[in-house]
Amino acid sequence: MAKPQRVKGKGRDEGKTLWRYQPTLPTGKRPTIHLGAMRESAANKFCGMIDDLIGALKNNLTPAPGTRRWLLDLDKPVYEKLKRLGLCDAAQDVNLLRERRENKELAKAPSLEDFREWYKSQRKADCELSTVKKQQSSLNNLISYFNEHEPRTKLISEITVEAAFRFQLARIKERAEATASKDIKVCKTAFGYAVRIGWIQENPFKYLKTGSEVNPDGHFILPIEDYEKMIDACPNSTWRTIIALGRIGGLREPSELVNLKWPHVNWANGQILVTSPKTKRYGKTERSIPLFGRLEEQLADHFELTADKSEYVIDNPTYRHRDANLRTSFNRIREKAGVPKFPNPFRNLRLSAANDVCRAGYTMKVVTEWFGHDIVTALKHYHKVIQADFDRARENDPFTSKKLTQNPTQARPRTAAQGSAEKAKASGMLIIPEAQNASVTPTGLEPVLPA
């Protein structure tokens, strides 16, 4: 990236430090963009946004979300300058948003249903389809609430802060705190977009405080003994592989099963390359996990049966779809194995794997790299305190000294006399034993009395 150039101000700008930038456009031209007076850090950020727009034009890509937000809120004269240079062509959606905000007719607030569809189209650019569907579910809950309880509210501009608060209270009463918090966060983000476009003046969800999205009641660790029972109850090798990849490999299912192929399994090095659609937006498109012994056993058996039929590890295309319904068949296998029902089965398979690996003594850095989440997420959603931790605390009490256990006589309390003697010795006083002190005749100014 080229750096901005410092220019001395002239005339009324004399004494000020001005900046300008000469980027190289895809056409080869190098126009001069005057940035005006600003801090050097702001000038560097401005130039970085320009470079991102140029890169998007060269490679026929969509600019980064941060660049698009910056372009949407840019001052009109500067925006018009960039538009004349063709730099805004890579962000056509931003051009439409700015036109909508400036046009009074287009700036009219849409209905709740129209707003939901518009927001869906916006988030498809930077979110996975599964994430967009979850956001749509939260907005559907919002629409259902107002249709049922406040039917007069039709437009997003008619939702007040009080109405948003009532919606939050209703969600908390109906669902778990984590679910209600997720709905409010989605609404807060969506209505933030509406503010920037000009549809509403203030975000009614802005000041609503959300609780934790962690639901401890939904956490469950599947014991390895129950895992073995389910493996024995599986109808075929495909299902044995699916369960093993979730409980032993810690894959996100079904999303990370979609693109898993046999060439991704490195038998020699004992690794599996996993592509992760969920973390793609954060620059983490893939990760490597160990080929654990139990997992290798299932994969080797499945390889012999299906490798010549399909390049994908999961040979049945029905199970490779991101919207595949794996839960129904999973529950049949669980019931056949005699394993009690537990919530969020595939998420808890992954949680169980992460807990086992963490308790095996691997560092948090290794665990988070293998499972594809950061340390905060791991501690919040994947690591659980279990009864074995309390049992271990009783067996290995961290507050019990081994020395005191081996020689308990050292732990006797001191007597008052011993304590006084130690204090006197520390102060340099002459110490007289009690027996010797009893035989000494008291003396003073009076004559010595016979003993």
Q: What is the mean pLDDT of residues 416-436?
A: 51
- pLDDT of the residue at 250: 93
What pTM, to 2 d.p., does this model score?
0.58
My answer on whether 299 and 332 are in the same domain is yes
State yes or no: cis peptide before 254, omega within 30 of 0: yes
* Distance in angstroms (rounded) separating the CA atoms of residues 63 and 340: 49
Residue 397 lies in a domain: no
Residue 270 lies in a domain: yes
Q: Is the pLDDT assigned to residue 435 strictly greater than 50?
A: no
My answer on whether 225 and 370 are in the same domain is yes
Write down which residue in 43, 76, 102 finishes a domain: 102
Residue 229 lies in a domain: yes
My answer on whether 241 and 384 are in the same domain is yes
Burial class of residue 414, CB neighbours in 10 A (0-12, 13-18, 19+):
exposed
My answer on whether 69 and 201 are in the same domain is no
CATH number at residue 151: 1.10.150.130
Q: What is the mean pLDDT of residues 279-298?
A: 88
pLDDT digits (tens, 9 = 90+) for 23-61: 888 888 889 888 888 888 988 999 999 999 999 888 888
Residue 450 lies in a domain: no
Write down which residue in 195, 213, 231 finishes a domain: 213
My answer on whether 157 and 177 are in the same domain is yes
CB 252 within 8 A of CB 278: yes
> Domain of 116?
112-213
Number of structural domains the chain divides into: 3
Residue 440 lies in a domain: no
My answer on whether 359 and 286 are in the same domain is yes
CB 331 within 8 A of CB 345: yes
* Residue that wins the pLDDT comparison between 218 and 117: 117
CB 153 within 8 A of CB 110: no
- pLDDT of the residue at 421: 54
pLDDT digits (tens, 9 = 90+) for 202-215: 899 999 988 777 77
Percent of the chain with pLDDT over 90: 37
The position carrying tokens 């034009």 is 57
My answer on whether 55 and 32 are in the same domain is yes
Residue 274 lies in a domain: yes
My answer on whether 201 and 309 are in the same domain is no
My answer on whether 261 and 369 are in the same domain is yes
CATH number at residue 370: 1.10.443.10
My answer on whether 261 and 198 are in the same domain is no
Residue 443 lies in a domain: no
- pLDDT of the residue at 416: 54
My answer on whether 174 and 255 are in the same domain is no
Strand order in the sheet with 271-275: 265-266, 271-275, 286-290
pLDDT digits (tens, 9 = 90+) for 366-402: 988 999 887 777 777 677 787 877 888 888 887 876 5
My answer on whether 25 and 55 are in the same domain is yes
Write down which residue in 159, 191, 213 finishes a domain: 213
